[in-house]
Amino acid sequence: MTRCPRLCTLEDVVIGVVVAAAAAGALAGVAVRAVLARMRRGVLVAGVPCAGALAVLWAVPAGVVAAGAAPPAWLPAWLGLGVLVVAGSATDLAARRLPDALTRPATVLALATLLPLGPRAVLAGLLGAVVLGGAHAAVHLAAPGTLGAGDVKLAPALGAPLAAAAWSALAVAPVLAAAGVLALVLARREPRAPMPFGPPLLAASWVALATAVIAP
């Protein structure tokens, strides 16, 4: 019986997975930039930040799953959310809008990434999409200046994986996003200038999902 070489240790495997996922994420980030530029009402965004951000947002989930800290079935949803975080944030920051060409297919794709988790997760995702989308729609109707239409259309794509992971994550993400917006507004020299809500909501959703998936 031959001994497993040093490269077969769990730590080396995790490192290899992280490096490979980071490289794949960087390439995916370049592809995201190209898609954003070519879609209807496209937006030209910087390539290096997209590649770098998605490299990190793919490397972390891949490393966590490779280390056995999260179920492998969660990887598609986690990676998919990373793509949405980069695409949505880059678009909202560059153009101050979230186009339908991005938000509409995002919900369908988010639900599709839940299929490896089974029908219960998909059902929870559907309910979460309705709940978070409805909550954002209610806020938009009550105070249109608080949330844009693009934020409302983005919400179902975030509610799907969050509810599938934990209903508490669905509740925590908007609170974290609101706190992030408030902190950014207070830190700016021009607090009355408009602040896009999409990037804080996307980042908060990623953090909430990661916490729910990794938690035992």
- Number of structural domains the chain divides into: 1
In a domain? residue 165 = yes
Match 């934020």 to its residue by tokens. Answer: 151
Average pLDDT, the chain: 90
* Residue 1 counted as domain residue: no
List, for residues 12-50, the tens digit of each pLDDT value.
888 999 999 999 999 999 999 999 988 887 788 888 999
Report the alpha-carbon distance of residue 51 to residue 190 in Å, rounded: 30
Residue type, 9: T
pLDDT tens, residue by residue, 129-171:
999 999 999 999 998 877 888 999 999 999 999 999 999 999 9
**Inter-residue contact 48 to 60 (CB < 8 Å):** no
Report yes or no on 123 lying in a domain: yes
Assess if residue 99 is contained within a domain: yes
More confident call, 150 vs 184: 150
In which band, very low, low, confident or very high, does the pLDDT at 185 lie, cut at 50, 70 and 90?
Answer: confident
First CA to last CA distance, the chain: 36
- Does a structural domain hold residue 19? yes
Cβ atoms 77, 128 nearer than 8 A: no
Residue 139 domain flag:
yes
Q: What number of helices (H) and strands (E) belong to the chain? A: 8, 0
**Predicted structure pTM score:** 0.91
Please give the Cα distance from 20 to 63 (Å, whole number): 10
Q: Is 86 inside any structural domain?
A: yes
- Domain hosting 11: range is 6-214
DSSP string for 174-216: HHHHHHHHHHHHHHSS-TTS---SHHHHHHHHHHHHHHHHH--
